[in-house]
A = this chain, B = another copy of it.
Amino acid sequence: MDKIIRFTISLPEALLDGLDKKVTEQGYASRSEFIRDLIREKMIKDEWEGGYDEVIGVLTIIYTHHQNDLVQKITEVQHDANVHIMCNTHVHINHENCLETVMLKGMADDIVSFSQKISALKGVKFAKLVKAAVPIS
């Protein structure tokens, strides 16, 4: 496990009160834990904008399996992709539609372009990419 460093910060009193309210309301164990999550989130956002390192993406799609050849085409796009596909998960949400997540690793641009290709396929009705990254700690 990583070494833990303690240090002091200063906040205006009203802001600290607000922080403590959030920590309690949202069920965080401590101020530190809450602030860690804020910092991590900011870092991941910047990492995607910078585009220098490998990042992680999760693509959520909803599509109709009644569409001819769609499953075939999704598979082809996946095989041609310049990204590492870690895992696919698939559930049936009603008689016509499937919900699927695709977990991806690669460069930000490649993950975005992969997601656009999937999203453009006829029969894919919804597509949204979550931009994540391996946490530095």
Residues of A within 8 A of B (CB): 1-19, 22, 26-29, 31-44, 46, 49, 56, 58, 60, 62, 66, 86-87, 89, 91, 93-94, 97, 99, 101, 103, 105, 112, 116-117, 119-122, 124-128, 130-137
**Number of copies of this kind of chain in the complex:** 4
**Nearest CB of chain B from residue A18's CB, rounded to whole Å:** 5
- Is the Cβ of B27 less than 8 Å from the Cβ of A120? yes
| B residues near A131, Cβ cutoff 8 Å | 128
| B residues near A94, Cβ cutoff 8 Å | 134
CA of A116 to CA of B50, assembled, Å = 13
| B residues near A124, Cβ cutoff 8 Å | 37
- Is the Cβ of A137 less than 8 Å from the Cβ of B15? yes
| B residues near A26, Cβ cutoff 8 Å | 116-117, 119-120
**Nearest CB of chain B from residue A101's CB, rounded to whole Å:** 5
Closest residue of chain B to A127 (Cβ to Cβ) is B37
| B residues near A12, Cβ cutoff 8 Å | 1-5, 36, 137
